Homo-oligomer: A and B are copies of this chain.
Amino acid sequence: MNKLDESLLANLPLFAKLDRAQIRDILDLATTRRFDAGATVFEEGEAAEHFYLLLDGYIRVVRLTPAGEQIIALHIPSGHLFGIAAALGHTTYPATSVTAAECLCLSWPMRHLNGFLQSYTGFSDGVYKTVGTRVADMNNRILELATQQVEQRVANTLLRLINQTGRKTDDGIEIDFPITRQDISEMTGSTLHTISRLLSAWEREGTIKSTRKKIVVTDPHKLVLHSS
């Protein structure tokens, strides 16, 4: 087994306050795992036996309704932890994690989580700050779902996506992973038909450019106008 390089973690805010030796200790407990696009990392309801750090790729956190409908709770970009609900007292995973693109992860047995939280300065703060950000996101999501029309929700969702996972291109800002109309409908509580119509309209007015599984926002300002 190859030793992992310490620079993998040293640049992440989460580990910024740790010294080389501490990072070494943490890395020596980690397992590296690679996942193809579309692979399931863990499923809702499973015993939460590992927690993960996403080194590269994107993770989609999804939930299923009893009726079998799926909704996407959030996307996790590289550098962030996931599967850490045990820090909030859960013993099973509260949602399913699927890869939105090819992913590279580190994983640790869950029993180390409390140790890390207590032993490493800044780690606990970082973890709970991550949780705080996600909770704030969820709250905004609820506010949107409860009060806004589909058009506004989709505009807000796209704006969030380009802010969190946007990549600059010649034409504008591109969402960094493959994303379908169906995916967006599962993020906004809508249908792929309605999303298709909306994106077609926005393409016509020059707000976005879109091809198969790819969306480039060419005029974010126009999107902001649609978002409220």
Could you list which residues of chain A lie within 8 angstroms of chain B, going by C-beta atoms? 63, 65-67, 69, 71, 73, 85, 87-90, 94-95, 125, 128-129, 131-133, 135-136, 138-139, 141-143, 145-147, 188-189, 228
Closest to A89 in B: B129
Q: How far is the CA of A178 from the CA of B170 in the complex (A)?
A: 57
Say how many copies of this protein the assembly contains. 2
- Can you list 20 A-B contacts with CB-CB less than 8 angstroms, sorted by A residue number? A63-B143, A65-B143, A66-B228, A67-B147, A69-B147, A71-B143, A71-B146, A88-B131, A89-B133, A94-B136, A94-B139, A131-B135, A135-B135, A135-B138, A138-B138, A138-B139, A138-B142, A141-B142, A142-B142, A145-B189
A88 x B138 contact (CB < 8 A): no
Contacts of A71 in B (CB 8 A): 142-143, 146-147
Q: A66-B228, A71-B143 are in contact. List 18 more A-B contacts (CB 8 A).
A: A67-B147, A67-B228, A73-B142, A85-B132, A87-B128, A88-B129, A89-B128, A89-B133, A90-B132, A94-B136, A94-B139, A131-B131, A135-B138, A138-B138, A138-B139, A142-B145, A145-B145, A145-B146
